[in-house]
Amino acid sequence: MNFDLGIYNNFWNIYVLFIGGILALFISLISENKVLNLSIGGIFIVLSMFLTLTQNDFNFGFLLSTAFIRLSFVAILIPGILLLTGVNFSGKQIKWGLFNSILLISLGFMGLAIYSFDLLFIFVAFEGVSVTTYVLAGFGKSDSEIEAAVKYFLVGAFSTAIIVFGISFYYMSTGTLALNAKPILNNLYDLSLILLVFGFGFKLAIFPLHGWAIDTYTGTSNAVAALLSASSKIMTLIIAMDIFYYSPWFYSYLIIIFAIISVLTMTFGNLVAIWEKNVKRMLAYSSVAQAGYLSTVFLTFGYSEKTLLLAFTSIFLYAIAYVLMKGGAFLGLNGLKDYNLDSFSGIWKSSPAFAFSFSVLLLSLAGFPGTAGFIGKYFLFLSVISTGSLISYIVISIAVINSVLSFYYYGRVIMYMFWKQGRNEVYGYNTALHISAILTIAIGVLYFFIFNYAYHSIEVSFNSIHFLLRG
């Protein structure tokens, strides 16, 4: 039997996710055993990672693969692995085969979304992600999960409308939906991209479009919160980077817009997180702040090739760090009866492994040296500063102040775990939490291996595809 699909052979890393999703449905008819179903999901995700890393760059006009996109897809898949090791829905008869199927299909659509080089393809794949994550958000069927899913759906519908308007105006101003189209009507073109900034800004949870994220991350299960705050956010960022990277006529507006957005987002997220006593809501607000840090990458667009290479490599490093520390932190909350700050008092006495691992992830989120979070922030901020522009220096100065500020509320949780007297309750072994903490330290110490590999891989892509299309 010949499985040769011609030019589409390059997409087996995405095909296997959809095939795994369909297979999971058939297996669920035989058994709803949690370990069996989730193990099958893990096998397909790992296989997709392997195929992604061995894939060559290509350009089909409406679909595009570069080293940056491939590496970013690997980062998007990582929370899927973590989720499978730590997913839990308390007190419910869960259909694990169905859950596994929806998860794999959602990850497959995320891959299609970031590989697309046409706004119509991006929109269809993006909506595929939205629909599946709406279902996952309310999968446990508890009151809080249903409420979170409804809020997520309503905001998602509103952001979809804005994206559709943006795509419509883009087509009217260029005559095509290809990302590297040259505008014919400049004013309409600028309006279309402003609408796309706000449309995708909802999914990225930037200020003031963040409100849904706080309630959704807090209300849904920890596993789904990890997926939404990590994979979904990184996917949206990569899509936005692709759209705006190939829109050099919009750079002057883009830099000003994202300079304002990043400052407001990181400052708001950190200031509100300081007053939060609920650790899960605190993590939700810190996700908003992290979106502000990630948004600074747009300040590098339009500058030298070396600056862009450093920026794209830095975003990949930050993406890896972010999905580990944010995904691991949300999954680390499994087993806790509630998420109030007082519940963390004295945990280190009864569960030292939990206290240490959770502390590592919190310190990494704050940007403590020796962790992956510090490395990601350092190189990202360095790439922005290397532009030499005054606005970049101002934004990064504010970002550093915000990073220092975040040590307060992250450190407060650590203080409660190690220095407050508590109930000495014993918490079970949390695989996702401990793996995330170990990898966060390993990347923080041995980052140069990943950095060199990513930098040289992206450099080849820039020479062969990105700048060719830009030209």
* pLDDT value at 3 more than 80: no
pLDDT at position 384 is 92
CB atoms within 10 A of CB 309: 20
Do 410 and 365 form a contact (C-beta atoms < 8 A)? yes
Q: How confident is the model at residue 1 (pLDDT cuts 50, 70, 90)?
A: very low
Question: Which residue type does 423 have?
Answer: R
Taking residues 223-234, what's their average pLDDT?
A: 87
Do 167 and 106 form a contact (C-beta atoms < 8 A)? no
pTM here is 0.90
CA–CA dist 14, 48 (Å, integer): 7
Query: Which residues neighbour 416 within 8 Å (Cβ) at sequence distance 6 or greater?
Result: 341, 342, 344, 345, 346, 422
The percent of residues above 70 in pLDDT, for the chain, comes to: 94
On the CB side of 340, CA atoms within 13 Å amount to: 5
pLDDT in tens, 14-50: 989 999 989 988 888 887 777 788 888 889 999 999 9
pLDDT in tens, 156-207: 888 889 999 999 999 999 888 888 888 888 889 889 999 999 888 888 888 8
CA–CA dist 385, 391 (Å, integer): 9
Do 227 and 132 form a contact (C-beta atoms < 8 A)? no
Do 429 and 357 form a contact (C-beta atoms < 8 A)? no
| Alpha helices, H only, 368-470 | 372-385, 390-419, 431-445, 447-461, 467-470
pLDDT at position 25 is 85
pLDDT in tens, 71-127: 999 999 988 888 888 777 665 667 888 888 889 999 999 999 999 888 999 999 999
Do 88 and 223 form a contact (C-beta atoms < 8 A)? yes
CA–CA dist 15, 129 (Å, integer): 15
Nearest to 287 by CA among 301, 273, 303, 277: 273
pLDDT in tens, 80-91: 888 888 777 665
* pLDDT value at 337 more than 80: no
pLDDT at position 183 is 85
Nearest to 212 by CA among 133, 271, 141: 133
pLDDT in tens, 446-470: 888 988 888 888 888 776 555 445 4
DSSP 73-96: HHHHHHHHHHHHHH---TTS---H
Q: Which helix (H) or strand (E) holds 367?
A: none
| Domain residue ranges in the chain | 6-470
pLDDT at position 267 is 93
pLDDT in tens, 394-416: 999 999 999 999 889 898 888 88
* Residue entry with tokens 């499994």: 334
pLDDT in tens, 288-307: 999 999 999 999 988 888 88
Question: Which residue type does 410 have?
Answer: Y
On the CB side of 178, CA atoms within 13 Å amount to: 14
pLDDT in tens, 424-440: 665 666 788 888 899 99
pLDDT at position 380 is 92
* Residue entry with tokens 């999968």: 139
Q: Is the dihedral of CA 207, 209, 210, 211 positive or negative?
A: positive
pLDDT at position 424 is 61
For residues 81 and 57, which has the higher predicted lDDT (pLDDT)? 81
Q: What is the mean pLDDT of the chain?
A: 85
Q: What is the end-to-end Cα distance of the chain in Å, rounded?
A: 42
Q: Is 342 exposed, middle or buried (0-12, 13-18, 19+ CB in 10 A)?
A: exposed
Four-point Cα dihedral 437, 443, 444, 448, nearest 10: 180
